[in-house]
Amino acid sequence: MPEKRSQSHIKKYIIIGVIILLTAALGVVSYFYYKTEKELGLTKIELENTKSNLAQSEEKAKSLNAYLETEKYKNSLFSGQISEIVGTVSQLDKLSKTDKELLQKYSKVYFLSENYVPESLTEIPAEFVYEKDKKVQIHTKVLPYLSDLIKAAHNNGFDLKIISGFRSFGDQSVLKDNYTVVYGSGANKFSADQGYSEHQLGTAIDFTTAELGLNFSAFEKTGEYRWLLENGYKYGFVISYPKGNVYYQFEPWHWRFIGRSLANTLHQENKNFYDLDQRTIDKYLIDIFD
């Protein structure tokens, strides 16, 4: 009997021990479960906060990107405006440095002061001039175009020569007086009064050929004249007084530099320089030497 009681007590103690151990284990498990849950809860909160912060950051990024795009657009517009302003200033500066007299209609229309002289004059090479010992001048900026024209004519078998170029107010006065003595009032049909001559601009040329020489009144019948009609505009030159003009008699030898742009327009539209009003002509002044 005592042994049975002893065994019964041992079992009871074991059961109690086991229960205590299980209770302790359950407590430990509960503690860790609670701790884990708490940590997970904190992690979820942090995760939600992170998501919220990311969402806010994305919105800020979108807003910033939209702002940057708007600023880029404004800058592009501003750059375009700056470019336009710079271009306009450049054009105005270029125009301010271009002699406004060069495209004026002077033949019996406008008057050139006796003090007017082109900004720069250059002597035409003797090889282009009919009278080798004669000094003939032209506007410095026109010479390259004239040289190209004469060389092109020569390459095509036409022997263009120059009789006269720039004439000052005084030179024109002397010439007109001489013509008046010989031809009387008839001189007005072919010779301009001083101040009304295109030659004073330094951009007008009288052509002849080696064969015609001073008899350039017969220039109309030459191949050189026909070549000029077909090609002169390519180099910026046009005939000033064609047949039917109301200023002077027909002068096939007298050609004036007006720039390639205007000369090309006149050629395409089959018009003459004096057919256009001055406002239309003035628009081409800025491009006269381009």
Report if pTM > 0.85.
Answer: no
129-186 pLDDT, tens digit each: 999 899 999 999 999 999 999 999 999 999 999 999 999 988 877 765 665 655 565 5
pLDDT, tens digit (0-9, with 9 covering 90-100), for 227-276: 999 999 999 999 999 999 988 889 999 999 999 999 999 999 999 999 99
Per-position b or e across 191-227, b if 16+ CB within 10 A of its CB: bbebbbbbbbbbbbbbbbbeebeeebeebeebebbeb
User: pLDDT tens digits, residue range 85-143?
Assistant: 434 445 556 656 788 999 998 777 778 888 899 999 999 999 999 998 999 999 999 99
